[in-house]
Chains A and B, each alone.
Chain A
Amino acid sequence: MKISIQQDDFDIAEESRLLRESNSNTGAIVTFSGLVRDLDNERKVESLILEHYPGMTESSLEKIIAQAQGRWSILDVTVIHRIGELQAGEQIVFVAVASLHRGEAFSACEFIMDFLKTRAPFWKKCLDENGESWVEAKSTDEDASARW
C-alpha cells in the first residue's frame, strides 16, 4: 500500500508499473486520476490551491483503504494526492487498486475515491477571473459515498 501527499506531479505509467510488480497474482489494475478542470460553474479557473491536515489526512486515507480491504479482496492500493497550487489541466489525485479480477478493483477504486472526496481532510481554494474563493462541498459527492 502506498499513500503519498505531495506537491510534485506523479507519473501514471510509473505508478501503474510499481503496482503491477508488487504482486505476481495481480490480474486487474484499475486506475483513476483526477484533474483540475478549467471551468467551474462557468467561470474560468486559473488554478487551485490544495490544503490538507498533515497527519489526519494520511490516517483518514489509511482507514478508507482498510474499509475497502474489508469489503473486497484487494492485493495492493496506491493513493496519491497533490497539495499546493495546481494549474488548470494538472493532475490532482490518483487512486489505483490491484486485485485478482476486475470487479473488485473497479468497486474498490470507486469506493476509495468517493470516501476520499467526503472524508479525507483536503480543501480547495479556486483562483479565477473573479478572485479567490473556497470550493463548496457538493451534495452529489455525499450521495456518492452514501450509496456504499
Chain B
Amino acid sequence: MIAVHFFASIREALGVEHKTFDLPKDVETVEQLITFLAQQHGGTWSEILGKGSVMVAVNHEMAERSARLQAGDEVAFFPPVTGG
C-alpha cells in the first residue's frame, strides 16, 4: 500500500484529500506516481501535480521527483509553504 496526501490549494484543485492504494509494480519514483495518478484521474491531475512549484514529501521529508518509492511510503503533494 501507499498513502498519498494532498494539501491546501492542491487538495482543493483535485477535490481529494488523500488516497491509499496498492503501489503498482511499475511505479518506482515520485515522477512515475504522478504519471500513474494522471492516468487514473485524467489530464487535470497531470497539469496540477506536474507544476514545478509543487512540493513533494516522502515519509515527511522533502523529496525530489526522482525520489524512489516503496510499499508503505507516505507521499504528500503541496504548494510552496506560507506559514509564520
Residues of A within 8 A of B (CB): 34, 50-53, 55-56, 59-60, 81, 92-93, 113, 116-125, 134-137, 141
Q: Verify A122–B82 contact, CB threshold 8 A.
A: yes
Scan residues 1-24 of chain B and give those whose CB is less than 8 A from a CB of chain A. Answer: 5, 7-9
User: Quick one: closest B residue to A34, CB to CB?
Assistant: B84
Q: B80 interface residue, CB < 8 Å from A? A: yes
Q: Which are the 4 A-B pairs with shortest beta-carbon distances?
A: A122-B83, A137-B80, A123-B8, A56-B60
Supplied contacts A81-B83, A92-B84, A134-B8, 17 more A-B pairs, CB within 8 Å:
A50-B83, A51-B7, A51-B8, A52-B83, A53-B57, A93-B83, A117-B83, A121-B7, A122-B82, A123-B8, A123-B9, A123-B79, A134-B9, A134-B82, A135-B82, A136-B82, A141-B84
Known contacts A55-B60, A56-B60; is-contact A93 B78 (Cβ 8 Å): no
- C-alpha gap A55/B80 in the complex (Å): 18
Please give, as numbers and ranges, the residues of chain B lying within 8 Å of A117 by CB-CB distance. Answer: 81-84
Please give, as numbers and ranges, the residues of chain A lying within 8 Å of B69 by CB-CB distance. Answer: none
Q: B49 interface residue, CB < 8 Å from A? A: no
User: Quick one: closest A residue to B76, CB to CB?
Assistant: A53
Give the Cβ gap from B56 to chain A, nearest Cβ, in Å: 11
In-complex Cβ contact of B81 among A92, A118, A125 (8 A):
A118
- C-alpha gap A52/B60 in the complex (Å): 12
- C-alpha gap A51/B79 in the complex (Å): 12
In-complex Cβ contact of A53 among B9, B78, B82, B84 (8 A):
B78
Give the Cβ gap from A77 to chain B, nearest Cβ, in Å: 15
User: Quick one: closest A residue to B60, CB to CB?
Assistant: A56
- C-alpha gap A117/B82 in the complex (Å): 6
User: Quick one: closest B residue to A120, CB to CB?
Assistant: B83
Q: B37 interface residue, CB < 8 Å from A? A: no
Known contacts A51-B8, A53-B5; is-contact A120 B76 (Cβ 8 Å): no
Known contacts A53-B76, A121-B7, A123-B8; is-contact A137 B81 (Cβ 8 Å): yes
